[in-house]
Structure 1
Amino acid sequence: LSIAIAKGRTVFIADTRVHNVPNAEQLAEIAIQAAEKARQLGHEPRVALVSHSTFGNPYSEDTDRIREAVGILERSNVDFEFDGDMAVDVALDTELLKLYPFCRLSGPANVLVMPALHAATTASKLLDKLGGGTVVGPVMIGLEKPAQIAQMGATVNDLVNLAALAAHDAEHN
């Protein structure tokens, strides 16, 4: 999980560290854990399972597992908003979301579950290098004990942010 903070918004991007190409069950679990972390950090999660398509348009077999993950979340009766498959621009833009009145999100997504590790990592590193905000992470979630891993080249700010998250985890677990 990475946390992007820019333009007055906080967006959680998952999975930036563990699953190369997660299956439907793993995508659903990633969504649940990322939503839990967002809530722990004071954000009411609105989860978008992200794809190159939006609600099957254009269709591709690659999006089948995303739609399967949405079905798993529906059957799991989770306590957060979610929907997908949807393109990231739709997920983050209130006006574009209005074009899909059947969408279950009440506003722009603040948790993006990416379809694969390469997409999540590329997105978070792109945001970090373009600047204009702060990217914290990758943040380890779902561990029994609080721990974070600093990346090579981490700055003092990166280390402080990761230490603060580990301390927060220790207090809340």
Structure 2
Amino acid sequence: MDDWQDRIDGVWSDDTLSEAEVVERIDALATERPEDDPVALFERAGARDSAGLEAEAEVLYRRALDRGLDEERRTRATIQLASTIRNLGKIDEALALLRAEYERQPRGPLHDAAAAFYALALVSAGEAERAASIALETLAPHLPLYTRSVTGYAREIADGHA
């Protein structure tokens, strides 16, 4: 698997490839794995997502998640699926997926990514203040100063007092 993943990573890191070439190469590498291999499905979904083929990506993300992914890829696939379906106008489902991911692992390695996409979905749903609160609360621990103040303001926004 490592050699295969290294080759997949090589495709992703090759800035000379067009979006269509990325899809083509990822698909070619995916044929080396079983047809319903969840990791191959996930990579194929990501390639289509990057190429703006959201409807095709959605189907592949769902299949990958249904077949089971390791924890990191499951989180990534959930975030990416939610972003894709938000772009397809399925905002309520995107919000539900992202909220669950955001609340699931507050200290997880992809928590900030989940927060960013959750905030974007909240904006799409017309909840800009809640989105700002989520974004500020996520940003606050990364600030060299003012962490407590920004966290407090984020909570005030969430409570409707800002």
Work out which of the two has the higher radius of gyration on C-alpha atoms and give 1 or 2: 2
Is this a same-fold pair by TM over 0.5?
no
TM-score class normalised by the smaller sequence: under 0.3
TM-score, reference length from structure 1: 0.25
Bigger proportion of residues as strand:
1
TM-score, reference length from structure 2: 0.26
